[in-house]
């Protein structure tokens, strides 16, 4: 893994672990509230790209170490994390590469948010298919407070989640949003007590990993593309996807398991 040139006493700035088909991606710079440096953006893009189409990765779980999710880009470290320093346009290309690689993942993705998720850290969470958070989580499109414009695809994902007017409120005022408010706005799926967050996140992630991969991937794609599709296109795509399903072993296994009164064992074939 890349090492943070600014120094990380805690070790690798990004930790990876694959358990039962769940790739856990942990941002590991707790002393900086898991702020992301330029090299880390490049590594995240590599991790997400590598997980795409990997049969050993059936779900991706993103979280942060030390009680926070992510405080966004580490603006201080980014001025000294590479020698020679990269141009800002190059740095932003790495941010965009990571956002695109996450968006293009075919398997389901889940963010487990504790503490702060602000700026690009908030949008990193929102680009996941599902978001669960603790009651102590706090969200903010904090860019305007830093003299910056929204990034990591926030201008694309935020209006799709909350509508254009509410997205403008969040981005222009840059308020701190508590967990309950985020849930009411539709930014997160579930809010739980702090001590229950990772149990819920892993429970959901394992359920996703145990689901039929081909069907889940196509359902994710159908829903992601829904806002740019006509009803005719959606119905046609659904028909093609369902036809693919009926040709898989997983659908046959699901039917047999239902008849036998047991849980199906899906293999992605």
User: What tens digit of pLDDT does each residue of 64-104 get?
Assistant: 999 999 999 998 765 555 556 777 888 889 999 999 999 99
Residue 2 domain-assigned (yes or no): no
Residue 32 domain-assigned (yes or no): yes
Query: What pLDDT was estimated at residue 87?
Result: 77
- For 112-145, give the secondary structure using H, E and C: EECCEEECHHHHHHHCCCEEEEECCCEEECHHHH
Residue 7 domain-assigned (yes or no): no
36 and 125 assigned to the same domain: yes
Residue 269 domain-assigned (yes or no): no
96 and 139 assigned to the same domain: yes
Residue 6 domain-assigned (yes or no): no
Query: What pLDDT was estimated at residue 7?
Result: 41
Residue 67 · residue 114 · CB < 8 Å: yes
37 and 145 assigned to the same domain: yes
Query: What pLDDT was estimated at residue 268?
Result: 87
Query: What pLDDT was estimated at residue 84?
Result: 63
Query: What pLDDT was estimated at residue 148?
Result: 95
55 and 142 assigned to the same domain: yes
Which tokens belong to 132?
């669960």
150 and 251 assigned to the same domain: no
Q: Among positive and negative, which fits the CA dihedral 52, 53, 57, 58?
A: positive
Query: What pLDDT was estimated at residue 11?
Result: 82
**pLDDT under 50 in the chain at which residues?**
1-9
CA distance 191 to 125: 14
For the chain, the domain total comes to 2
Query: What pLDDT was estimated at residue 5?
Result: 37
The model carries a pTM of 0.91
CA distance 62 to 126: 11
Give 71: exposed, middle or buried? Use CB within 10 Å, 0-12, 13-18, 19+. Answer: buried
187 and 223 assigned to the same domain: no
166 and 236 assigned to the same domain: no
Domain span holding position 92: 14-210
CA distance 20 to 187: 28
Catalogue the long-range contacts made by 239-247 (C-beta closer than 8 Å, 24 or more residues apart).
241/215, 244/214, 244/218, 245/212, 245/214, 245/215, 245/218
Q: Please state whether the peptide bond connecting residue 9 to the residue before it is cis, i.e. omega within 30 degrees of 0.
A: no
């Amino acid at each position: 893994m890349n090492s943070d040139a600014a120094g990380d006493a805690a070790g690798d700035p990004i930790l990876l672990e694959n358990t039962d088909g769940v790739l856990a991606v942990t941002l590991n710079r707790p002393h900086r509230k898991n702020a992301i440096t330029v090299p880390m953006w490049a590594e995240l893009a590599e991790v997400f790209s590598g997980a795409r189409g990997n049969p050993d990765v059936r779900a991706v779980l993103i979280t942060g170490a030390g009680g926070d999710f992510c405080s966004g880009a580490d603006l201080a470290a980014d001025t000294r994390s590479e020698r020679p320093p990269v141009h800002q346009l190059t740095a932003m290309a790495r941010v965009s590469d990571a956002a695109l690689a996450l968006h293009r993942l075919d398997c389901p993705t889940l963010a487990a948010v504790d503490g702060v998720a602000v700026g690009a850290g908030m949008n990193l969470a929102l680009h996941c298919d599902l978001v669960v958070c603790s009651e102590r989580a706090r969200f903010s499109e904090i860019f305007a407070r830093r003299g910056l414009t929204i990034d990591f695809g926030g201008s694309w994902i935020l209006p799709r989640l909350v509508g254009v007017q509410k997205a403008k409120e969040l981005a222009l005022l840059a308020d701190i949003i508590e967990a309950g408010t985020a849930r009411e706005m539709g930014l997160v799926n579930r809010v739980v007590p702090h001590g229950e967050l990772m149990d819920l996140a892993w429970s959901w992630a394992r359920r996703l990993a145990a689901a039929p991969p081909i069907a889940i991937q196509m359902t994710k794609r159908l829903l992601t593309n829904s806002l740019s599709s006509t009803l005719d296109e959606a119905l046609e795509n659904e028909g093609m996807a369902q036809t693919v399903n009926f040709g898989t072993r997983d659908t046959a296994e699901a039917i047999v398991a239902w008849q036998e009164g047991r849980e199906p064992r899906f293999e992605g074939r």
